Amino acid sequence: MWARATGLLLGTLADAVVPDPQRHHPVAWFGSWAMWVERRTYRDERGAGAVHVACCLAPLAVLGVAAEAVGRRHPLARAGLTALATWVVTGGSSLAREGELMAAHLAEDHLEQARDRLSHLCGRLADELDEPELARAALESVAENSADAVVAPLVWGAALGVPGLLLHRGINTLDAMVGHHNRRYENFGMVAARLDDAACWLPARLTGAVTCAVSGPRAGQAWRVMRRDAHDHPSPNGGWCESAFAGALGVQLGGHNVYPGGRVEDRGLLGDGPRPMARDLLRAARLARRVQWASAALVAAALIGRKL
């Protein structure tokens, strides 16, 4: 467990100091593989979606099990392979940087650049959004993806090692690719979406709790808002992260969202403050970094505690 804990911490450190490659990222390779599989498995049926998920994830399972087999014989190799996998699948630093870049565009009143950049964080239509709505969309994405791209990989890495890290990233990527409410994917993407919900059920709630814990003097307010408002979100998981961030930052999230294809979603309101602005998005990015490091320390301590 010491090797696994060390690997998770080193991988988190690598995420902070080693930029993601602009080309040939392993997650992009998996996305290309998933697209190839989709062209051969697609039917407007849930069963076909289940076959798609199984075919896409099978190589990750084999690769992860092989890495763990090597690690059982060589503890240093286990730490190194765990660190490498953690760096590959974790997106905390890039998430925070996107939030900071959006905040800079908004602070300089560069709304067109901010609208263009929003697609790096979420899939909403941005053409008509003003500063508060752009800041809200970005802040909600930073909060929710703190679970998907940071805490969930750490939790599954602590529980299952390299297979947990790789499989969770594969599940989350498949959800982003096919887990949509539209004509093509409503049935085919159902399994991927539900599997992602299940995989992030515990990490999302842990993300909310950690967010409250690292919120300083607003910790109590963040906890109260999270407990009160988490269930007002349409996602079974997103509300825990977003309401905790809303309470910690003293802003109000939720509301009217429009997506490509004309789909409209009216979410419940989370938090009691004003609508967020550029400065609040910058604070959210800093909060997300604290959540990442606190979560890494927590899972590492849990692993070491089990060994003692």
144-167 confidence digits (pLDDT tens) = 999 999 999 999 999 999 999 999
pLDDT at residue 259 tops 90: no
φ and ψ of 258, to 5 deg? -120, 135
Average pLDDT over the chain, rounded to an integer? 94
Look at residue 270 in the predicted model and tell me its pLDDT: 96
- The answer, yes or no, to whether residue 269 has pLDDT greater than 90, is yes
In the predicted model, what is the mean pLDDT of residues 36-62? 97
- DSSP letters for 17-36: HSPPPSS--HHHHHHHHHHH
- H/E stretch holding 223: helix 219-229
In this model, does residue 290 exceed pLDDT 90? yes
Query: Of 242, 141, 148, which Cα lies nearest the Cα of 199?
Result: 148
- Mean pLDDT confidence for 18-24: 81
Q: Cα torsion for 172, 88, 63, 69, to the nearest 10°?
A: -120
| pLDDT over threshold 80, residue 22 | no
Please check the confidence at residue 258 and state whether its pLDDT lies above 90. no
Q: What pLDDT does residue 212 have?
A: 98
C-alpha Rg value of the chain to the nearest Å: 19
Q: Is 61 helix (H, G, I), strand (E, B) or coil?
A: helix
Stretch 37-65: mean pLDDT: 97
Q: In this predicted structure, what is the pLDDT of residue 254? A: 94
- Number of Cβ within 10 Å of residue 308's Cβ equals 6
pLDDT at 244: 98
Region at 255 (left for phi over 0; alpha for psi -120 to 50; beta for the rest)? left
Question: What integer is the mean pLDDT of 38-45?
Answer: 96
Burial class for 274, CB neighbours closer than 10 Å (0-12, 13-18, 19+): exposed
Give the pLDDT confidence score for residue 257 in this predicted structure.
Answer: 87
- H-state helical runs in 90-200: 92-107, 111-117, 131-146, 152-160, 162-178, 190-199
Residue 308's pLDDT band (cuts 50, 70, 90): low
Q: How confident is the model at residue 307 (pLDDT cuts 50, 70, 90)?
A: low
Nearest CA to 110 among 94, 96, 128, 131? Answer: 131
